[in-house]
Amino acid sequence: MSNIKVIEKLKDDPLMPLRHTAEHILHMSMQELYPQLKKVMGPPIEDGFYFDFDLEEKITPEDFEKIEKLMQEIVNLDLPVTRLEVTLEEAMDIFKDNEYKLQWLDEITDRSEKISIYEIGSPSGEHYDRDLCAGPHVNSTGAVKSFKLLSIAGAYWKGDEKNKMLQRIYATAFDSDEKLEKYLQNLEEAKRRDHRKLGKELDLFTFSELIGSGFPLYTPKGALIRRLVNEYVEEIQSAHGYQQVWTPQVAKADLFKISGHYDKYKDDMFEVRSHYSKEEFYLKPMNCPQHTQIYASKQRSYRDLPLRMTDFAMLYRDEKPGELNGLARVRAFSQDDCHVFCTEDQVDAEIDMALNMIKDIMNTFGFKYRYRLSTRDPEHPEKFLGDPKMWDKVEKWAEVIMERNNIEYFPGVGEAAFYAPKMDLMATDALGREWQLSTIQIDYVMPERFGLEYIDKDGEIKRPVMLHRAIIGSPERFMMILIEHFAGAFPVWLSPVQAQLIPISDKHVPYAESVLENLKEVGIRAELNSKTDTMQAKIRDAQLEKIPYMLIVGDREAEKGEVSLRLRTGEDLKSKPLPEVIEGINKIRLTKSLDLW
C-alpha cells in the first residue's frame, strides 16, 4: 500500500498527524546516529507508524534505547515542524543523493501534484531535518507526548521482492503515557493470543516450505474445528432454503474477462498452464463467476426465483510474500459463499433473512459488531464497473435496508467491490480489534455482463438481481479470529477434545475406560490419559491443551459411579454422579453455549 493510500485511509484518525510527526522524529534521529542511512518512506499506520531505510549496518532491538533517547531529546526541545512547497528542480537538488526520493518525485510529477517537504527545527539549530512528504503533521515535536519503538523487520522497496530488501522499524505514539501503557499491555496480550503460536502449541495447523508460503495444512484437530464451523453455517442456511453447489477451482480466462476480474483483479490471480491446450486458465479467486454459469445452464422462470446457491469450494489469490500472515492472510482458502438470484421485489426479504442469519451466528460466537457501508471512491470512478446511476440507487438502497433493520453502521468510502457496494460486518474480538467477517452485496453488474435472464409472469424477459453473501467469510481467517478471541480455549462445541479422563493410578484405568465409553456414546469427544505421569502433571497438561473438562477418577469415584470434575480454568467442582456430568457437558455442547458449567 502506498504512503498516500495509507494516509488517506487514516485521515479521520485524530492521532494520525502526531504519529506521522513521530515517524519524522524517528528518521531524523536515525539519520543523525547513522549518517550513511538513506531514508525511504514511513507512513502512519493503524495503531502506529513505520520507517523504511537503506543501511548496510543491521539495526537490532538492542539499538532502540539510544534511538529513543535521541528522539526524546528532539521531543523535549519542542522544535517547529514546517511545511514548504518547492519546485521539482529544488526537490531534485535536495534529494540528489537518494534514489528512493527521486523515484517518489517522478511519481508525484506523474500525478501532477504539488511537491512539499517538511522541516523539523531550523538549519542553524543543533537538530535539523527535512524530508519529502505530503503531511499532515502537528505543529511541533513537543506534541508527541509518548512513543515506543516496537520491532524491526525486513521489507522490500515498494513491496516487490524483485527490489532491494530494506530495514523497517515499527513503532507507535500517543498523546499520553497512559494510552501508550494500555496499548503496550494489549500488545503483550495479543502476543499471548497469537494464533500462529497457539496453532502450533495446540497442534491445529502448519505450513511447509515444500508446499509453499500461504498454503495452510490442517491437522486432525484443526480440520475438525474448521469442519464444525462450516457445518454449523450450512445447518443454518440449509434450513432457510439455501442449496449447496460445487464448482471447479480452475476456469478459462474468458470467464474472468466477462466478469471483470481479469481487468480489475488479474494481478492477484494464479495463472494455470496446460501441456495440451494453449488456452489461458486461472485458479478462481472467488465463486461468483462460476455461479452465474450454473444459473445460465437452463432457462429460468420467475417461479424458480429466488435461487440460492452456497459453495464452500477452495479459492486462491496470489498474495505478496511480505503480506502473508499465518491464517490471517493466505493464498489458499475457502468461503461460506452464497449467491442469490432473485427479482428486485425479492431483494429486501432475502437480505433481511441473511441479516437475521448473520445475527444468530455472531451471537453464537459471542462477537459484538457493527456494519460498514462500503461504497465507491468518487475520486476514482475508473475502479468500478456499471452505470453511476445504478450505484447511486444501490448505495441508497443499502442505507435504507440497514436503517430499517436498526443496524449501526459507518461509511467506508472506496471499500466497495468493483461491481457493487457492500454491507460489511465488522466484529470486535476480545482485544477490541475489528475484523471484517460477513458481507452482503446487491449486484446488477454481473447479471448484465453475463446476460442472465428469467421469464417474468407476464412473459417478458428480465434480468435477475444477484446478491452476494458470506457470513463468517473465510474459515481460515475466521479460525484465526477464533483462536485469538478465545486464546485457544474454544467453546465446548468447538474444542477438539472436550473431556479428558485422568485415572489417579493404573488400577483406576478400567473404570476410566468405562466412563470414556459412556461419554463417546452420547457424542462427547473424550480421551483417556493413561500415561505414567502424576495426576497433577496430567491436569497441568490438559489445561495447557485447553481441554474444557478433566474427569479425575480414583477409588471413591469408581465405588460410587462418580467423577471428580475440574474445569480448564482451574475450578474444582468436586465429585459428581457420572450421569449428571454427562448431562451437563452434553447440554453445553449441543446448545453451543459459551459457558463451561
468 classed as catalytic = yes
342 classed as catalytic = no
Whether residue 288 is annotated as binding a ligand: the answer is: yes
Q: Which of 131, 337, 424, 443 is catalytic?
A: 337
What's phi and psi for 69, nearest 5 deg? -60, -45
**CB hemisphere CA count around 58 (13 angstroms):** 5
338 classed as catalytic = no
Instruction: Report, in this order, helix, strand and coil percent for the chain, each rounded to 5.
Output: 40, 25, 35
Q: What is 321-381 written as a DSSP string?
A: GGG-BTTTB-SEEE--EEEEEE-GGGHHHHHHHHHHHHHHHHHHHT-EEEEEEEE--TT-G
Whether residue 291 is annotated as binding a ligand: the answer is: no
Cα–Cα distance measured from residue 198 to residue 487, given in angstroms and rounded to the nearest whole number: 8
Cα–Cα distance measured from residue 290 to residue 255, given in angstroms and rounded to the nearest whole number: 8
335 classed as catalytic = yes
Cα–Cα distance measured from residue 544 to residue 524, given in angstroms and rounded to the nearest whole number: 20
Contacts of 432 (CB under 8 A, 6+ apart): 186
Q: Which of 335, 436, 441, 500 is catalytic?
A: 335
Place of cell 539510544: 66
Residues forming beta bridges with residue 503, ordered by sequence position:
553
Contacts of 28 (CB under 8 A, 6+ apart): 74, 120, 127, 129
Q: Which of 133, 288, 338, 342 is catalytic?
A: 288
240 classed as catalytic = no
Q: Specify the DSSP class assigned to residue 103.
A: H
Q: Write the burial class of residue 136 (CB in 10 Å: 0-12 exposed, 13-18 middle, 19+ buried).
A: middle
Whether residue 339 is annotated as binding a ligand: the answer is: yes
Q: Which of 226, 291, 331, 339 is catalytic?
A: 339
Q: Which of 24, 193, 195, 317 is catalytic?
A: 317
Sheet holding 250-252, edge to edge: 250-252, 281-283, 271-272
556 classed as catalytic = no
Cis peptide before 123 (omega within 30 of 0): no
Cα–Cα distance measured from residue 21 to residue 136, given in angstroms and rounded to the nearest whole number: 8
Q: Is the CB of residue 169 less than 8 Å from the CB of residue 335?
A: no
Task: Show which residues are catalytic.
Answer: 288, 317, 335, 337, 339, 422, 468
Binding-site residues for Zn(2+): 288, 339, 468
Binding-site residues: 288, 339, 468
